Structure 1
């Protein structure tokens, strides 16, 4: 009987230890960690009282100005007017005792996995297209890409500024 009791105590203790799979990996919950990190810093910078109620008010106010993926994050946590559920207390309570934002996001992931699926879109800067690139394309392109001036009376007419326009 003593052996069975020790075993159940050991299993209960093991269940309380967070598993490695629960921990966030690099890039997980990107929007959550970034947004809440900046939010926490703004609370400190503005000397907001770290009470759950004050944090919730500030969070709803911050969510009103959120755009893009951050607005979607606010929707998932209930920070927008049209949100179906409200789990703001899952953020405000841990923040009131200065819990790390990555741990808060781990708990939010358990409540709603969509929160951690949000990623910022990567912007690609193509840069300006050079005249050399355009002229080299026109030289190598076949007539099917360049168009025919005789086709239905359309052609390219060049204005004094050197810019072609279709007529």
Structure 2
């Protein structure tokens, strides 16, 4: 079967067919010229949370805390598809319920973060660390502590 025979039977494929990434992003509008391509909270060097564009294919959020008394980050990357529930206490605490753990975020002015998480519009969350950012933000959102609670493994018959 020649190429022409194939085209006659199955139809000709357009030369510039949209690729996978084009098909995924077709409903997302590109940012207008002059608009920022990323959105972060906080006007100073410390950004408690934000959205960094990932081409529309990312469905995750990186949660970073700091090992006590160090500049060593530790954290986890949560997949939004596993986020079962977002609990909150006022604007000072958020609880992210995942199948294997609960991420507890303590801070101030966290209402906007709660809304962004519920809309999958946050790609990173980071705890404030005085060793990295000497002056705490005033009148802006701040994440003072992030803790991860995991259920204890129960052993049967030991």
Alignment TM-score, normalising by the size of structure 2:
0.26
Task: Looking at secondary structure, tell me which structure has more strand per residue.
Answer: 2
Larger Rg computed on CA atoms:
1
Task: Looking at secondary structure, tell me which structure has more helix per residue.
Answer: 1
